[in-house]
Amino acid sequence: MASHVGADQQDQDGQPKARLSRPVFVPAVVVIGTALAFAIWFGARYGEDATQAFTDLRDSIGVNVGWWYIIVVTAMLLFCVWAALSKVGNVRLGRDDERPEFSLFSWFAMLFSAGMGIGLVFSGVSEPLSHLTTPPDVVGVEPGSEEAGRAAIGQSLFHWGLHAWGIYAVVGLGLAYMTFRRGRPLSVRWLLEPLFGRKLIESWVGHVIDVVAIVGTVFGVATSLGLGVLQIQAGLSNLGWFEPSNTLMLLLVVGITAIGTLSVVSGLHKGLQWLSNANMSMATVMAIVVLLVGPTVFLLRSLVQNFGEYLQTIPQLAFVTGAGASDTWTLDWTLFNQAWFLAWAPFVGMFIARISRGRTIREFLLGALLAPTLVSLVWFTVFGSTGIQHQLTEGNLVGQDGNVDTETALFHLFGELPVPDGVTTVLSVVAISVIMLFFITSADSCSLVVDVLSHDGRTETPTTTRVFWALLVGAAAALLLMAGGEAALTVLQVSSLAGAAPLSIVYVLAMVSLWRMFRLEVATMPRYVRIRSQATPSALVSAARENADSEREVRRSLRELVKAQNVGAPGRGDIRRASATLAGLDATVSGPRFGVRQDEDSTILAVEDVPAHATTVDPKTGEIGIDDEAVRSDPTADEVFDTPEFDDSALGAEHRSQELLDRYVNGGKPAGGEQGGGSDPSSGKQADSSGGEHTGRDAGAEKDRQSGEK
């Protein structure tokens, strides 16, 4: 382990500088380079037969591990639903008094843009048309029929809706909780600390987890960037400006990666937030134009119908693995998309975690699940339903052989709209610009996330390494496209299917880990109740009227009741005798009492539910006690980090508060006895983000001490 952080290793705020983790960085780069070299060799080895060779490789991976992806993705969605609807949803991702850093619109725009912008633009028209012409056998509808057209949107939403965002939400929730709530570094490895413990997480086991996350992220994002380049090239060709070629693809990758690198240098707020907002605005304008100039009434009716189709499709396809099917629909669509999203999850999860500090778990999950799903519903309705309706009536968006050109379908749809050629050109240019902006924001976000992983979870990383990762992601996309040639799309699918396999195991362990921590949160979460020694005004009036025959008697009886309460006689004694637990409460209320006020004679109590097995009874006195170890079994409580993330977390704030109490109230002695014992979060080891251990107080506590002395 590293030694204690010295002054020369601290920044101007006294915090440890972000240091590159060589055990993570070097193996990750080596694995990525080896995989790219294999793709290039594989493509050159099979030459003209590369398309079939890559297809066979993709099918082999999908058949052998695809069933596992189906189980993992469904489990992640169910986990999100449980966490959002349970008591865990009340937990705030940060300190209890924190509020969100970004506005709701900016938060949603960044979340959606970084999540799957390129994919929706790429698939908005082509995927529903493909499901129209070649529906899955399990649905049992006739290809090209109106029934197949209605089901096509639901099938597309099945891939791009709740299941996709359930993957991102689990990873993002775990990172946000462990970092903002528990003070851990912002790294995938720390999701598993409650299971493996700190010692293993800081060893080679943790390094392997982060390497797997980096490799999966790079290839997942490279897949998305590759799809974007293919569609940009198709759009330029459709406009008649350029002819498709490897040179054009390479120039597009280089040019857009360069722009993305500038965004990396500008920083999160200046670059990414502005690009995300502009991106969403342009995409919204494009959708509104198609909605207004297209079959508007039909699309509004389809919006409701498509929502119903989606709800029917979820149970229909949730556990379909393609076993025994005569087609490859599940492999071509469901397994590829889910593997792609699994590979993307460290990237999107870490990014949405960073921008979601201060939100509750319920707010985070409902926002991350429902908002993008509703946007996907609108997007597929506007573009997908328009394309399907035009194909069913005109029949010129699909080739004679029934195949859909996935790269040009969007631009062909623009050409069929009842607008002048100039408007068609403008729409095509806007679409290309949107894809480019999605490309840039994805590259920017990916470089940020991967760099954080390679610096042991430190969020403030050097610009040099962020630029390196941005360039590497662009290079990976370019090399994969070049290696595949005509089979470029298949190569991208192979990279996602392979990269998701090890990550899926990490996600399952992460869900178990989070479940354990959330059980602790619920067990220790106080419920605030209000104890009142007086009756409410309405209850007093009702009591006074029970034995009164006139308004005069009501007035006299009411005055006697109020007087009795003010002098603290009958009613107050009953309250104090109701429970020994409340015996120490001060039931008196100072000041003259000329009436009854609900807010003056009440006490607020923090009540914590205690399981029966955690209680003890003194054999001599019969007094009820509690076994703290039986209630609080926190596997992370004794670990303290000398990092900014810990200082800013809820656990860090609790640690500093306990130190101040020990210093000013308990005479410098820990309230729990010997330092380091029990589950006292203020005890234990301190370490910097690279695993170095030392004993002492963190910088936040020192500042509190100095301010207290002043």
Ranges of H-type helices in 532-642: 537-546, 551-566, 570-578, 628-631
* Rounded mean pLDDT, 619-645: 76
**pLDDT at position 459:** 73
* Alpha carbon distance, N-terminus to C-terminus of the chain: 37
Last residue of a domain, one of 519, 552, 576: 519
pTM, rounded to two decimals: 0.81
The alpha carbon of 520 is separated from its chain's Cα centroid by a whole number of angstroms, namely: 21
pLDDT at 301: 95
**Residue 549 and residue 514 share a domain:** no
Q: Is 279 in contact with 109 (CB distance < 8 Å)?
A: yes
How many structural domains comprise the chain?
A: 3
Q: Which residue has the higher pLDDT, 403 or 9?
A: 403
Q: Examine the domain organization and report whether 194 and 163 are in the same domain.
A: yes
200 against 602, higher pLDDT? 200
- Whether pLDDT at 312 is above 60: yes
Examine residue 332 and state whether it is found in any structural domain, yes or no.
yes
Specify if 615 maps to a domain. Answer: no
| Selection from 312, 310, 334, 311 nearest residue 321 by Cα | 334
Cβ pair 24, 214 in contact under 8 A: yes
> Which region among 74-88, 95-109, 502-516, 569-583 has the lowest average model confidence (pLDDT)?
569-583
In a domain, 9, yes or no: no
Burial class (CB in 10 A: 0-12, 13-18, 19+), 316: middle
Task: Tell me, yes or no, whether 616 lies in a domain.
Answer: no
Q: Do 636 and 590 share a domain, yes or no?
A: no
Q: Are 286 and 250 members of one domain?
A: yes
pLDDT given for residue 135 in this prediction: 93
Domain boundary among 607, 641, 669: 607
Cβ-in-10-Å burial (0-12, 13-18, 19+) of 129 comes to: buried
Which of 519, 546, 563 is where one domain is finished?
519
326 and 453, same domain (yes or no):
yes
Q: Is the pLDDT of residue 300 over 60?
A: yes
- Cα distance between residue 225 and residue 491, in whole Å: 13
pLDDT at 159 > cutoff 70: yes
Q: Which amino acid is at 483?
A: A
Residues 243 and 337 in one domain: yes
Pair (512, 542) in one structural domain: no
What does the DSSP 8-state code read for residue 549? Answer: S
pLDDT at 161 over 60: yes
* Element holding 508 (H helix, E strand): helix 488-524
Long-range Cβ contact pairs of 263-268 (< 8 A, separation 24 or more): 263/440, 263/441, 263/443, 263/444, 264/443, 264/444, 264/447, 264/448, 264/463, 264/466, 264/467, 264/470, 265/463, 265/467, 268/354, 268/448
- If we measure between CA atoms, which residue out of 213, 176, 267, 2 comes closest to residue 645? 176
Run of H or E residues at 246: helix 246-266
Residues 36-74: pLDDT tens digits? 888 888 777 776 676 777 778 878 888 888 899 999 999
Q: Are 327 and 260 part of one and the same domain? A: yes
- Is residue 584 in some structural domain? yes
In this prediction, residue 190 carries a pLDDT of 94
- CA angle (324 as vertex; 322, 330 as ends), nearest 5: 15
CB atoms within 10 A of CB 61: 20
Same domain, 75 and 145: yes
For 441-475, write each residue's pLDDT tens digit.
Answer: 777 778 888 888 898 888 778 888 988 998 898 88
pLDDT for residue 570 is more than 60: no
Q: Which residue has the higher pLDDT, 391 or 703?
A: 391
> Is 522's pLDDT higher than 80?
yes
Decide: 216 and 343 in contact? Cβ < 8 Å: yes
Contacts of residue 561, Cβ cutoff 8 Å, sequence gap at least 6: 540, 543, 544
Residue range 350-407, pLDDT digits in tens: 878 888 999 999 999 998 998 889 889 999 999 999 999 999 998 888 877 778 888 8
How sure is the predictor about 533, in pLDDT bands with cuts at 50, 70 and 90?
A: low
Q: 700 with 592, same domain? A: no
Range of the domain at 376: 18-42+50-519
In this prediction, residue 670 carries a pLDDT of: 59
Residue 622 lies in a domain: no
**Taking 90 as the threshold, does the pLDDT of residue 577 lie above it?**
no
Instruction: State what percent of residues in the chain have pLDDT above 70.
Output: 80
Same-domain pairing of 92 and 140:
yes
The CA-atom distances, in angstroms, between 685 and each of 3, 4, 629, 695 are 13, 12, 20, 6
**What is the structure's pLDDT at 590?**
40
Nearest to 62 by CA among 279, 340, 286, 260: 340
Mean pLDDT computed over every residue of the chain: 80
Beta bridge partners of 603: 531
Give the CATH number of the domain where residue 458 resides: 1.20.1740
CB under 8 Å to 7, separation ≥6 — which residues?
A: none
Q: Is residue 619 part of a domain?
A: no
Chain length of the chain: 710
Q: What is the pLDDT of residue 309?
A: 95
**Comparison of pLDDT for 643 and 160, the residue scoring more:** 160
Question: How far, CA to CA in Å, does 435 sit from each of 32, 130, 255, 289?
Answer: 25, 21, 13, 17
Return the top range by mean pLDDT from 99-113, 297-311, 531-545, 669-683.
Answer: 297-311
408 in any annotated domain: yes
- pLDDT of amino acid 78: 97
- Is residue 220 domain-shared with residue 92, that is, in the same domain? yes
Nearest of 100, 193, 190, 183 to residue 650 by alpha carbon: 183
Chain centre distance of CA 589: 49
pLDDT single digits (tens) 224-239: 888 888 888 888 988 8
Residue 407 phi/psi, 5° resolution?
-85, -25
DSSP annotation string for 339-356: HHHHHHHHHHHHHHHHTT
The Cα 334–Cα 326 span in angstroms is 16
* Residue 337 pLDDT greater than 80, yes or no: yes
